[in-house]
Amino acid sequence: MAVATTTFAQNQINFESGNFDFLKGQTEVNVQLKFENPLFQADNYTEAQYLERRKTETVAKKGEESWRRWDEEWQKHKESVFLDKFIDGLNAKAKKIKFSKDATTKYTLIIDTKWIYAGWTGFVTQPAKLSSELTFVESENSSKVLTKVKGEKIEGVGSKVDYGMEYGRISAAYEKTGKELGKAIKNALK
């Protein structure tokens, strides 16, 4: 496979290998989210370290019940909302192909979460940022990589989410990553 060095103007989507030619004529692509050992914040905390810090802050300010509710939301976002928001963003831009989870299709897109900056709110809002590897593989043989793309520090802006909590801001970054990938696919398949 040829390695392309194209960057889609300020979109922060970069090809590592392959292209989108294999998607021509496809009507649906399966999507999976890998959330295994991403790093968090500028300090590159593990998820366990990040959550421990978040728990300490939440319990100190709001108590154990607030932490329990926060953790439940975090798990829900990690298990489904992040992927759903990514797919929403992708489908909003890559009009001719439907991307969905748990679909039986020829190709699968795997989103491998590498780094998350949770952002913050206050007088102003600092959006979350997401870095990920986006790999298209054959569904029947996931070792057969067709295209690998990187999303680098994509800011979660322009989404209808609750920016007040980390998981909302992070889901916006997944959605924006999906939109940027969708634009790249749409442009490549014109």
Beta strand segments in the chain, E: 13-17, 28-34, 39-40, 98-100, 107-117, 129-138, 141-155
Q: What is the C-alpha to C-alpha distance for residues 67 and 185, in angstroms, rounded to an integer? A: 40
Cross-strand partners of 51: none
pLDDT at 106: 98
pLDDT at 164: 77
**b/e map 44-63, b = 16+ CB within 10 Å:** ebebeebbeebeeebeeeee
- The residue ranges of every structural domain in the chain are 13-188
Percent of the chain clearing pLDDT 70 (strictly above): 94
Q: What is the pLDDT of residues 116-175, one digit of tens each?
A: 999 988 788 889 999 999 999 999 999 999 999 999 999 998 777 776 789 999 999 999
What one-character-per-residue DSSP string does 56-81 give? Answer: HHHHHHH-HHHHHHHHHHHHHIIIII
Mean pLDDT of 66-83: 96
Q: What is the mean pLDDT of residues 22-50?
A: 97
Does 95 have pLDDT greater than 90?
no
Residue 80's pLDDT band, with cuts at 50, 70 and 90, is: very high
